Structure 1
């Protein structure tokens, strides 16, 4: 019986710590800029289970369409333990992909970075990426 009380106490402490961390992050976001509306889901899991479950249905894009109808064409979510901002708006996607002025820096999971290597075109950004892209385009 004592171990059950200890487990509940530990869970309570962890939940308080998590909620305090979320409030701290929210106050920092208010100071630095706006983040789109969305749902981060469960701690650690986020919305990963919903995302995977939609992949096994007859309509795999239902995950995106449901959130698009709730939060708009740009929303935040948590997939695979990482907070992400999803854009379904073509104009926003164009700005992100063109990356004028190095506003966005691409980030890939550690496994992808190790697989592609340190000097991969995926790892480069800015002027280095532009030069390498031009060289490869000329070669091909």
Structure 2
């Protein structure tokens, strides 16, 4: 008996891949670009890539809405990076620069940054504004996932 395949969007070429859930921990590669589907780093998303990752990926996607001029955003960046290494491959971590993607920021009503938003199945299920450390990010995601089920 094999596990059902999940759709996982490549962080490099943004192609949707089918990966069995029981193979997520085995460092799967993208079928198109052959790069790792999980590399322990958040993926930077523009509007088009955001739609692919949030809309097509069958694992939760945690998005950090940030801006380069934001001191707390820059301060939280290493913690978010470390959280990616801890949460992948069960959660995809992504970053949206609100200066470059003002339409996305407006669409999701981002009023303060940094703001973390957790998406499951294309739908926002949790949101947290303000900078957090790695342990707090991981703990918040775990609690949000438990509430979402």
Of structures 1 and 2, the one with the larger relative CO (CA 8 A, separation 6+) is: 2
**Higher Cα Rg, which structure:** 1
TM-score by length of 2: 0.24
1 or 2, which has the higher strand percentage? 2
1 or 2, which has the higher helix percentage? 1
